[in-house]
Every structure is written in structure tokens, then in C-alpha cells.
Amino acid sequence: MTDEIKTKEELIAEVQQLRFKVFEMEKHLEYLSHFDTLTDLPNRALFIDRVEQYVTSARRYGFIMAVIFLGVDRFKMINQSFGHDLGDIVLKEISSRLAACVRDSDTVGRMSGDEFALILSKIAKEEDAVIVANKIISSMRKAFIVDGREISLSASVGITLYPSDGKDADTLTRNASTAMRRVKETTGDNYNFFTSMMNDMVSKRLTLESSLRKALERDEMHVFYQPQFDVSSQRVIGMEALIRWIHPEHGMISPLNFIPLAEETGLIVPIGEWVLRTACSQTKAWIDEYGPMRVGVNLSMRQFKEKNMIDTVSRALIDSGLDSKYLELELTESTAMHDADGTIAVINELKNLGITVSIDDFGTGYSSLSYLKNLPISTLKIDQSFIKSMTENKNDTAIVKAIINMAHSLTLNVIAEGVETEQHLNILGDLKCDEVQGYFFSKPLPVAEFEKLLKMSKKG
Ligand code: C2E
Ligand code: MG
Ligand code: MG
């Protein structure tokens, strides 16, 4: 036997080959410790690691994130009846259906045999997790066709939210799995939040949202009018249009309880347009009967930022025949102060149409006074909180006085909201406030009652 003597070059090549093999094996080991070989999805360890990473950034940037845990209902039966090979094909198909339910930046992982989990790394609100959960549930209901067989499945889904249901990856994942189990052990084919409070809150909001969508066509929305008075003559000079939702089961729902939701969902755009059109037509009819009066219509941020807002407003004026000088649009301070230059341009466009703009709830936001000076508005509406406490708190009277003086020096009209007592009215008279609105005179009234007031005021 002759010992083959290897050259130096041959030895180097061999070592390099070995190194490469070790590298490949390490890579494979790494893969095995982080990924599931059947589905190629991150395994439990890597998934938890990713949750931890997202928790860190959610904490830093103040995001809400969600962990969604999914268990396939009665999966054991599939394996028992059709065998493991077919079961594996189904699991692969499930993993691709799940990936299709989320954004590329969201992670899907396989937690154990028939359990998967997803991270929604950044959501705007709790209901967004419900949207994804529902997507998952319905994608699982579609029949799986394997080897010509049709297999029906369903999934149980548990949801946890950071930060309310857990502050670290382990807790969030564990609690999501507990929430999933609660569904699996009862009905299956549904989702559940870990916290029951969250279940109640989300289901209430979703119910509210779906009835809000139908409210307009079902004629449940009404516009009430609250009269505004000139302080010196104490005559009605106009009114504010205020929306009311009269729900068939829950009765009157305050705008404070549905405007924010309408704003979030974008429903404020059609609802607000309806208020505007209704208020313009009603005011035109009243002017024809009782003489000139101005109507204030509230515009929320979303409406104000709508691209065709100016068009919507001018169409409402044309269709109703109302002269634009009788329409005043109310913007809150935060709407007006958002995107300063854009706001000035839009208000100027309104002004060119002959429409006036007021700043509502003045004093509660953080107006920059130098910016206010440049806003082409005509009226400041002092927030009711200052008026209410004027009688108890000298500082509030001083604030009201300062707002009135400042407004006058900017040649703006001032109206005080929330005037509830004669004392309020007297102080405001002394401070030379121009106009008032509040329960002392009248609450917001339905059309027929407001009309009675106009009749009386015409006689008087
Ligand atoms: P706002 O525009 O500041 O309207 C004034 C609110 O003060 C009204 O509440 C009115 O009923 C209430 N109010 C008037 N006088 C008094 C008083 O003497 N005492 C007390 N305690 N309250 C008084 P409302 O009707 O509940 O409306 C609340 C808010 O909802 C409005 O505040 C406005 O921001 C919003 N809103 C109402 N209607 C609409 C609408 O059609 N579109 C939009 N975007 N927002 C609306
Ligand atoms: Mg208002
Ligand atoms: Mg107000």
C-alpha cells in the first residue's frame, strides 16, 4: 500500500472544501433551530424573538401591536382519517393562506403541530386586529382540495394587544394562546380577545359602526338648531346646526359619542355633507319666511381636509339657493392650526365664495396667536368651559375678557358658548361680548320648535 503524498495545494483545497461543508451544516442547523421545515415559517423560538423585537419598537414609538394565535379546529381528525401526508399538505396550504392575510412586514409563525401565530407589528386601533382575525377565519373556511378530496376546516383565533394584554413577548403569546383555547373549547370558528373588556369594547364599537353606516338611509339623523343672540338687542341673529342621532333602540345618541367614530371611519364625510345640505335648505326657507339669519355648521378635520370640500359646500349653497353670506363654517382650533399654510389657502377660497369661518371651542386648543392673526376668519367662539366657571373663578373671567379684547383688536366677532345663567349674560355684556348661545336662552331645538321661537321673535 502506497501512501499517497498530497501536495500542499491539494491539502489547501481539501481544507477549503471541509470548511465549506461545515459552513453549510451550520447554516442548516441555524435554519433548523429557527424555522419549521414543513412550512418554512419561523418556529416558536424565532417567532417569540420577533415579538420581542416588535415590542421594543412599539414601546419606543408608542404603537399598538397585536399577536394573533390560531388553532385549527379538529385537526387531529384530518390526520386520523386521511393520514399524516395529507395532513402535511393541508398545513402547508394553511401557512400560505395565513401569509396572504397580512402585510409583508407582519410575521407568521408555526407554533406547534396545528397552531400558528401572527404578529401585526403596528396597528392604528384595536378593531384592525379584528379585521385581520376575520380575514383569517374566513380564509380557513374555504374548502381545502387535496388529492381530489374536499376538506372543510375552521380556525379558533385568540388576540392579545400590546400594551394592554402583556408587556413582553412571552406574556403576549401565552395570553393569545389562552384566548384561542377559550374559542376552541366552546364554539370554534371565531375569535376572542384575551381581555373580556376588550371583547365588549370592540363589539360595541363594531355594532355602533355598522348602525352608523345605516343611520342616514334609515332617516335616524336629524339636525337640531340652537339659537344665537345678539347681546345688546337680545334678538335671534342666527343658529348653530347640531346633529342628533335618534337610534330606534338606544334613543338620542350624543354627537360626542359618534362623531369621533364617524371621523375615524370616514363616515363623517357623507354625514357632514348631509348636515350641510339640510342646514342650508332649512335656513333658506326660514330666511324667506322670517328674514335674514346666519347658520353655523361644524366641519370636522376630516371634512375640512377633503379634496373636494369647496365643491361640496358650493353645491350645497347652489342647490338650496342660500346666499353664501348666511353660512358660517365652524372649525376647531386643532383643525385650523393643522397645516397652517394649507388652512389659510382653503379659508381664503371659502371667503372668496362669501362664506365666513369661525374658530370653535376657542381657548381649549393651542392656537399660535401670531398665526391666528393671519387666519382669514371672522369669528371666535369662546369655549363653554370658560363661561361656566366665570362665576366661580376670577381667572376664567380674566381669560374671557382677554379673548374678547384680543378678538376685537383683530376685528373679529366674538360669541360665547354655554351661557347658562343671567349672571353669565351680565358679565359677558359688561365685557362687550357680541353674541351668546346657551341653555339660558334655549337648548338645541328640533325644526318645529325652532320655528315657534322664530315666530315669537318676529312678533316681539
Ligand atoms: P360644538 O360645536 O362646540 O357645539 C356646542 C355644544 O354645546 C353642543 O353640544 C350644544 O348642545 C352644547 N351647548 C350649547 N349650549 C350649552 C349650554 O348652555 N350648556 C351646556 N352644557 N352645553 C351647551 P352637542 O350638540 O352635544 O355637540 C357636541 C359637539 O359635537 C359639537 O360641539 C361639535 O363639535 C360636534 N358636532 C355636533 N354636530 C356636528 C356636525 O354636524 N358635524 C360635526 N363635524 N360635528 C358636530
Ligand atoms: Mg360648533
Ligand atoms: Mg363649541
Quick: pLDDT tens for 366-413.
777 778 888 999 999 999 999 998 988 888 899 999 999 999 999 999
Report the pLDDT value the prediction gives residue 85, as an integer from 0 to 100. Answer: 92
* Distance between Cα 26 and ligand 2 center (Å): 67
* Distance between Cα 349 and ligand 3 center (Å): 23
The domain at 44-194 falls in which architecture? Answer: 2-Layer Sandwich (3.30)
Query: 254 CB less than 6 Å from ligand 1?
Result: yes
Query: 279 CB less than 6 Å from ligand 1?
Result: no
Query: 272 CB less than 6 Å from ligand 1?
Result: yes
Residues 164-171: contacts with CB within 8 Å, 24+ apart?
A: 164/195, 164/198, 165/193, 165/194, 165/195, 165/198, 166/194, 167/55, 167/59, 168/52, 168/55, 169/48, 169/49, 169/51, 169/52, 169/55, 170/48
For residues 83 and 117, the answer to whether their CB atoms sit within 8 Å is: no
Give CA 253 to chain center in angstroms. 19
Query: 243 CB less than 6 Å from ligand 1?
Result: yes
- Structure letter (DSSP) for residue 3: P
**For residue 252, pLDDT beyond 70:** yes
Of all ligands present, the nearest one to the C-alpha of 226 is 1
The whole-chain average pLDDT of the chain stands at 92
Q: 33 or 412, which is more confident?
A: 412
What residue's CA is closest to ligand 1, atom 43?
A: 298
Averaged pLDDT, 315-344: 93
25: pLDDT confidence band, cut at 50, 70 and 90? confident
Report the pLDDT value the prediction gives residue 20, as an integer from 0 to 100. Answer: 87
- Structure letter (DSSP) for residue 106: S
Report the pLDDT value the prediction gives residue 148, as an integer from 0 to 100. Answer: 87
Averaged pLDDT, 256-272: 91
| Buried/exposed 204-242: b ≥16 CB within 10 Å, e otherwise | ebeebbebbeebeeeebbebbbbbbbebeeeebbbbbbb
Which residue of 223, 254, 259, 436 sits with most ligand 1 atoms within 8 Å of its CB, as the best mutation to test the pocket? 259
460: pLDDT confidence band, cut at 50, 70 and 90? low
Q: 427 or 198, which is more confident?
A: 427
Ligand 1: nearest atom to the Cα of 440: 18
Domain with CATH 3.20.20.450 in the chain: 207-459
Ligand 1: nearest atom to the Cα of 296: 2
**Ion ligand 3 residues within 5 Å by Cβ:** 360-361, 417
Query: 187 CB less than 6 Å from ligand 1?
Result: no
Query: 333 CB less than 6 Å from ligand 1?
Result: no
Domain with CATH 3.30.70.270 in the chain: 44-194
Say whether the peptide bond before residue 163 is cis (omega within 30 degrees of 0): yes
Report the pLDDT value the prediction gives residue 192, as an integer from 0 to 100. Answer: 92
Which residue of 244, 391, 417 sits with most ligand 1 atoms within 8 Å of its CB, as the best mutation to test the pocket? 417
For 38-56, what is each residue's pLDDT tens digit?
999 999 999 999 999 999 9
Report the pLDDT value the prediction gives residue 446, as an integer from 0 to 100. Answer: 97
Report the pLDDT value the prediction gives residue 256, as an integer from 0 to 100. Answer: 92
Quick one: 207-459 is in which CATH superfamily?
A: EAL domain (3.20.20.450)
Report the pLDDT value the prediction gives residue 5, as an integer from 0 to 100. Answer: 84
3: pLDDT confidence band, cut at 50, 70 and 90? low
In 3-state terms, what secondary structure has residue 37? coil
Ligand 1: nearest atom to the Cα of 275: 41
Q: How far apart are CA 316 and CA 295, in angstroms?
A: 13
Query: 358 CB less than 6 Å from ligand 1?
Result: no
208: pLDDT confidence band, cut at 50, 70 and 90? confident
Report the pLDDT value the prediction gives residue 413, as an integer from 0 to 100. Answer: 97
Q: Which of 20-24, 120-124, 456-460 has the highest mean pLDDT?
A: 120-124
Q: 30 or 356, which is more confident?
A: 356
149: pLDDT confidence band, cut at 50, 70 and 90? confident
Of all ligands present, the nearest one to the C-alpha of 242 is 1
**For residue 1, pLDDT beyond 70:** no
**For residue 105, pLDDT beyond 70:** yes
30: pLDDT confidence band, cut at 50, 70 and 90? confident
Ligand 1: nearest atom to the Cα of 259: 45
Q: 215 or 458, which is more confident?
A: 215
For residues 117 and 103, the answer to whether their CB atoms sit within 8 Å is: no
338: pLDDT confidence band, cut at 50, 70 and 90? confident
Query: 360 CB less than 6 Å from ligand 1?
Result: yes
Query: 274 CB less than 6 Å from ligand 1?
Result: no
**For residue 35, pLDDT beyond 90:** yes
Q: What percent of the chain has pLDDT over 90?
A: 73
Averaged pLDDT, 281-297: 97
Q: How far apart are CA 223 and CA 274, in angstroms?
A: 9
Q: How far apart are CA 292 and CA 301, in angstroms?
A: 29
**For residue 64, pLDDT beyond 70:** yes
Q: How far apart are CA 431 and CA 21, in angstroms?
A: 89
* Distance between Cα 198 and ligand 1 center (Å): 29
* Distance between Cα 288 and ligand 3 center (Å): 28
